[in-house]
Amino acid sequence: MTPMLRGAAARALLPVFVLALAVGLLAGCGSRNRARIMVPDSSFSVNVVPTPSDWPDEARDWHADPVIAAQQQRVYETYGTPEYFRFLWRGDGEVVRQGDLFDMLARHRKDPAKFIAERNPDMEWVYLDHGVTYRFTRSGPQRADLSDPIRIICQYGDPQEVKEHSGPDGARMLSYQYYNIGRIFYFRDGEKIREERQPPMSGYEVRR
């Protein structure tokens, strides 16, 4: 099981991460218009980023493809501003662990643009109040129920550690461990099934 990086280790690689993300998104501006560059704060989460206060700026925030831009406008008119944007680093849509992401980035330090080009992340709109997410493609907007793991990450940031478990029936379960606030959340099929509390541990930052 891969523990999340502690604050100091994450901050050490953050300049390279920011550079890689900026280079990669700028390289993809042909498909994203003159896209706003959203850089996650690794001290909080590499999976989600709060919506900027000046969003939306049509020149930077709507997709360059008019078909997709029209979808985005319709969703915006229906639901308003999403509270968060989620980086889809993995093809299967799973949450990326900070340690895994920074390990991958460390292996591409000499060519960060290549790293981002290979994993140029799509963005998902997260509506906490409505409990839904939206992802946009030419075939139409993909609406999904907001999973409890993503809701928890939006509230508390990335967990310090993610563990996999097997339930009594052999089903896959996940636990998110937040040592900084003394909480452990257990999930199955995208739903929180229980929560445990323990004394907060020193050495871990309390995230915003």
- pLDDT tens-digit map of 173-191: 999 999 999 999 999 989 9
Res. 11: pLDDT tops 80: no
All residues at 6 or more sequence positions from 31 whose CB lies less than 8 Å from its CB, including other chains: 63, 64, 65
pLDDT level of residue 33 (50, 70, 90 thresholds): very low
User: What per-residue confidence (pLDDT) applies to 47?
Assistant: 92
pLDDT digits (tens, 9 = 90+) for 68-125: 999 999 999 999 999 999 988 887 788 888 777 777 777 766 565 566 556 667 889 9
Q: Which of 4-8, 128-132, 135-139, 204-208 bottoms out in mean pLDDT, i.e. has the lowest? A: 4-8
Residues 117 and 139: their CA atoms lie apart, in Å, by 23
All residues at 6 or more sequence positions from 177 whose CB lies less than 8 Å from its CB, including other chains: 159, 160, 161, 162, 163, 184
pTM for the model: 0.78
Rounded to the nearest angstrom, the gap between the alpha carbon of residue 9 and the centroid of all alpha carbons in its chain is: 19
User: What per-residue confidence (pLDDT) applies to 175?
Assistant: 94
Q: Which of 103-112, 130-139, 144-153, 194-203 bottoms out in mean pLDDT, i.e. has the lowest? A: 103-112
Asked if 190 and 184 count as a contact pair (C-beta separation under 8 A), the reply is: no
